[in-house]
Amino acid sequence: MSAEQKLKELRLELPPAPKPVGSYVAATRSGNLIFTAGQIPTRGGVLVAAGKVPDEVSIESAQAAARQAVLNALAAIRPLAGNSLDNIMRVVRLNVFVNSSPHFIEQAKAANGASDLLVEVFGDAGRHTRAAIGAAELPLNAPVELDLIVEVK
């Protein structure tokens, strides 16, 4: 099943590609690789959650936020991939930054929300390398921010 079909099966729709709020682009292509800028979990321009994990945002809510952030990243990628996620050959790298409460050490659990969705959509081609990093603060007090690198045809 294609990635585009899988999104429909999961009843997921990519949002409009996020607009940069500074002097950068949402995604850029170099050869067969597309790199995204950091994406936060917004839907309709509003954060789906805000605060530190796990004191203000549960791990489960952080996982849902990571899912939304990865959908935003895919929305930024789609125009550079011939307007179809089916042109993605593989997900190469995912970096997830987690707005962490002091002493929180389970950033990987929060990042799994994004990783699991990539595997759901792309199958084995969605398996990727990853870093899950604790951060003292993130833009707009987002619970997660992530960036993605994919290889395209």
146, part of any domain: yes
Other CB atoms within a 10 A radius of the CB of residue 119 amount to 15
CATH code assigned at 75:
3.30.1330.40
For position 112, what pLDDT does the model report? 98
| pLDDT score of 97 | 98
Report how far residue 78's alpha carbon sits from residue 141's, in angstroms, rounded to the nearest whole number: 27
pLDDT of residue 31: 98
In this structure, is residue 17 part of a structural domain? no
Is there a domain that residue 75 lies in? Answer: yes
Provide the mean pLDDT of the chain. Answer: 97
Q: What's the predicted TM-score (pTM) here?
A: 0.97
Does the N-terminal peptide bond of residue 54 adopt cis geometry, omega within 30 degrees of 0? yes
For residue 23, tell me if it sits in a domain.
no
pLDDT of residue 134: 98
d(CA 23, CA 31): 22
CA pair distance 88, 127, nearest whole angstrom: 12
Q: Count the domains in the chain.
A: 1
Tell me whether residue 20 is in a domain: no
Q: Tens of pLDDT along 71-88?
A: 999 999 999 999 999 999
Q: Which domain holds residue 91?
A: 3-12+29-152
| 84: in domain | yes
* 95: in domain: yes
- 12 pLDDT higher than 90: yes
* Percentage of the chain lying above the pLDDT 90 cut: 95
For residue 18, is it within any domain? Answer: no
